[in-house]
Each structure stands twice: as C-alpha cells, then as structure tokens.
Structure 1
C-alpha cells in the first residue's frame, strides 16, 4: 500500500542504505490498465511460467495471471469475497490432497484496527479462458496472538501447509504462524515464532522445496536458508543473505520461479510509469 512508501525509500537512500546491484536480470513492463496497484506475486505450480498477482486495497476480488513478458493472459474472479486490503499471494500444495492451491492474503491493516484478517484459498485451475471465476473458496479468519497489526507478506510452507505472515511496520517485525490444517469454521490464531531486525516488509515467498525464504522490504531482499528438517522459526533465527535487487517505484512483490532457481519482483504503476517485472537468476 502506498502511504508515503516511496518517500520512505528516498529517505533511506539519502541516509546511506546500500542497494545491492543486480547480476543477471531480465526486465519487462506490465501495461494492463486494470493492474494499477500490483501487490503480491506467486508462481503457478499447475501452469509453469505463469505468475499470479492482484491489486491492493479496494480493488476487485480478482487474481491476475502474468507471463514472463508482463502480459496478462487471464483473470480469475473470486466469487463471494471482497478485497478489503489484499497484500500478498502464495501457491502451495495441500499436504493432504497434493493439489496446488492459491492463497490470497487479505492482511493489510494500516491503522491496526481490524480485529481479524483473512486468507482465501482455492485450488489452481487450468487457464482455459481469458476471464474465469472460482466459487469453491476456503476462508480462513486469523487473529494475531498479540493484537492487530499491519502486514503485507505471506508465504505457505510447502512441507506442511503452515501459513506464515510477516508484519510490516514495527522497528523489528514479527513472524507469525498459523499451523495446518487451518479451520474454516473457527478463528485461527497466528502465533509469533520469530522477530526480524528490520522494518517495512512488503512481501515474502518460499521456494517450492521449502529450502529458501525470501523477505522483501522497500530497499532490500533477504534470503534465509532452511537446512534439513529445520522449522521456519529456526530458519528465521539465522543471519540472512542480502540478494540482488534493483530499486523499484513502490515495489511490493517477490516470488520464486516454479523451480526455485530465480526470483521475480513486481512494482506498482506510478503515474505514467508502468509496473515493472524483474527476474533475477
């Protein structure tokens, strides 16, 4: 969400924050007029090479597909839900059925005023048309154990189906876990499992094999490595590696590719400047 975010980036640069220069980078633009405030990014497991994204708060309840050229081949409308403040998206297989599912995080809360947040889940569908819809959607209501907070980063552990949310605004942000299986009948509690020594987290993702975690802020991308059978909490306790990242205007999305070999970032459209899609390998 905007809320002076670009000003924050400029101030951080002036203060001397070092941006990592990119190595092998592929760049394209996303000119779709409907996709003005892209916030969130995830790679499809059902259709390799396709990415999912969505608009920020107040947009339609629509998931947009992207290819690597920044084109939008299809739109998927979620029936019966609203976009209060969608901030991130993830894809993971259900541990029980092994079917790939899309998770949409309605987790934004600028003023920390919502008593609960929501994650919507639906099974991936073949992209057979340019405009499609889904109605079979699991709705997970979530409360944080230590009260409301703003968040823009969501990931789902591919090893066990746990939902992980990272808060945004604290000086040291919190990492919260909602264990699998999540309930559609009762409120799910998100328990704090880690604290990270930075702020302004805007996105996160985990590689398909569960080994590498990306956490994005306005100025950096950090990669955490999870060895063997370590938990997410144990992985986040380690010192991360700072990854290549080219500064974007209002960049609030990061995603591994479907093989976990490289990662994408996506910015919002700002004025006449189109949204930009980068791939780092």
Structure 2
C-alpha cells in the first residue's frame, strides 16, 4: 500500500508447537505432503499458480520477497551474469503479474572487482535511514561449493561477497513501467573466516535472511551431498558479527559460524525467508524437494534453530525452484504473514507465481500486527 494509507489490523496465528499427531507420524517415518508450521498451525494447501510474470525481463528469477509498504507488490531479481536490477511484480495490474518498476544498481556494483551474483533478496527496515530496504545478496560462489568429498571445488576462488540494502521506492502506478536508479544504497562486504580447514572456509550460498530491524543478516549454505549421503549433509549458517545499523556503508564485516542444519529431507537449500516475528524460517530446496519450516526456541537466535516440517511439496513440478517468501502483499487479507510465494529460476521468463495458502479455519489468535508495517 502507498505510504500514509490507513493501516488495517490483521490477526496472525503464531502457534509454538506442531500437532502431536505430526510428531508421532514423523517418528514413524510416515510424514508425507504438508503439515502445520509455527505461523500456520492448520497446515498449508497445495501450491497453485495464481498468475504469471508477464515479461521475459526476468529470465532467471533467483529470489523473491513480498513488499510491506507497497500493497500487491513482489520484488525479484536475476541470477549471476544478468543485469544488476531489482524488479517489482504487481499483483494488482490487469492482468496480474506485470513488471511495473525496475531499480538499477549498476552505479554501486560497477565499483566491485567482480560481477555480482545475486542469489537472494530480503526486506527489512533500512539500517541507515527511515523506511524499508530491499536487501540484495551478492553471495553466490560456485568455486567455493563443497563437493561430495567434502572439499571445495577450488581453494583459489577469492570470492567477494556483498549485502546491499536498497531503499524501497514507492509504487503507485500498477499499469506502467518505471525505470529507477538506486539511491542512498547501504552496503557491506562480508567475509568468511578462512583457516583452510572446514568449517572455517568460504561457502556457496543461495539463501539470505535479514532481521526486520536491519541489524543482522544470515547466510545459509547450498550444500551438495557429502559422500552422496544427502540426508546427513550439514549446511552451515553464518551470521554478521556486528550490528549493521551501527557500521558505516562499505564496511567489511566478518561472518561467524552460528550453526549447521541438515539438508531437509536431503535436498539442498536454494532460498529462504525469515518471518518477522523471528519464530520461523522457511526454506526452498532444489529439484522436487519443496519448502520446509524451521522454528526457533528463541526468536532470531540461530543457535536454537530446529527443523519443524515440510510445508509445501513441489506438486506443480516447478523447474529450478530457488525462491520463497512469506506473503505480505495483502491480496488475500487472511493470508498476510501466513501464505507463501514461490517463483522459478527456469531461465525463460514468464514464470508462474506459485501461491501456497494457509488453511485458515479454526484459528486461535496469539498475536497481531498491521499490514503496512513489520512488528
């Protein structure tokens, strides 16, 4: 919604525990399909395609995030080797799915030594000014990717990684196409510890999440099966070691290892989104893996993260699934903060926008927040 619009209070269920039946079935190895999550206690419906991106401008959509300030807007970006741009997809255009704005980042990425490899996008309050920022994660590095033998493809990668907080523009015209240059971008270069020995070596990541106040970011490893045992392959999680709201733009920030998680059901992690309550993170996985929920015993504390359950299967066989986001578009009021968006990195454009609705019957309200603002 546009800035200054009256905000309507939307209720959101935030159940801490999955149902006992799920725990029993999981222990017996009988879990299939989708289950409940912390923010959706009754479980999810199967994914449906609700619209298509009406353009080939985004040939390889590698990330997706829902706007909070702009009603009906999803933001996405392309993978490595493409333009350094963010694209606004409107769900209120006629037909829905039109790209209505782009934000160019060339002025900022051109000063880096290497071409950007944007792998994920997030949204938070800006760390350096008022308003909301879109975070573009230049975090990919195929050279550093660990192979099945546990060793990196090369030890001479020399990759450099950047997190860029781009002030989100106001979107008012859902029938046009606005070209914008990014302004007042905050960026930090992040650096992995590198002792030459695992786990303190750089990694390849395609999943980034940011705290809603913009103070901290986390990167999750895209990890191929260790010795071909995908189910017992640890994926590292690194976090920024300093408060991003108190460092200058263009600072270099060390990353620190905070935890490892197993690839869910053996599928490598290709995208993620953190719920603004800090009580749940959703991850997207490659191929036919689907989407999975992780819960936190302490909000935003990744040392307490634990696997919850599978929340969406890839029943539509989305090719190259690499992007996932909680829904804050307000296109379906009861789904705000509950439903999930997917988009494919299929490489041709015109991708379907996949929507996963939360089953809304029988809710017990535990907390509230407003559309148009994060809690």
TM-score (norm 1): 0.84
Aligned residue in 1 for 2:310: 242
Aligned residue in 1 for 2:104: 77
Count of aligned pairs: 261
8 Å CA contact 1:173, 1:195 repeated in 2: yes
3-state secondary structure, aligned to 2:302? helix
3-state secondary structure, aligned to 1:39? strand
Change in 2 beyond 3 A, CA 1:168/1:250? same
8 Å CA contact 1:265, 1:278 repeated in 2: yes
Separation of aligned partners in 1, 2:86 and 2:128:
24
* Within-5 A mapping of 1:118-197: 118-127=162-171, 130-145=178-193, 146-158=200-212, 161-170=215-224, 171-178=233-240, 179-181=242-244, 182-197=247-262
8 Å CA contact 1:109, 1:149 repeated in 2: yes
* Within-5 A mapping of 1:1-281: 20=33, 23-27=45-49, 28-68=51-91, 69-82=96-109, 84-94=116-126, 97=129, 99-112=131-144, 113-127=157-171, 130-145=178-193, 146-158=200-212, 161-170=215-224, 171-178=233-240, 179-181=242-244, 182-198=247-263, 200-218=268-286, 219-226=289-296, 229-236=298-305, 238-246=306-314, 247-258=317-328, 259-270=336-347, 274-281=350-357
| CA-CA distance at 1:93 after TM superposition | 1.0
8 Å CA contact 1:114, 1:148 repeated in 2: no
| CA-CA distance at 1:213 after TM superposition | 0.8
Any runs of at least 4 consecutive aligned residues in structure 1 with deviations exceeding 6 A, and if so which?
none
Rg comparison, structure with higher value: 2
Deviations 1:22-52 (A, max 9, x none): 7254412224111101100111122022111
- Structure 2 stretches lacking a partner, 5+ long: 1-30, 35-43, 110-114, 145-156, 194-199, 225-232, 329-335, 358-375
Change in 2 beyond 3 A, CA 1:19/1:187? farther
- Structure 1 stretches lacking a partner, 5+ long: 1-17
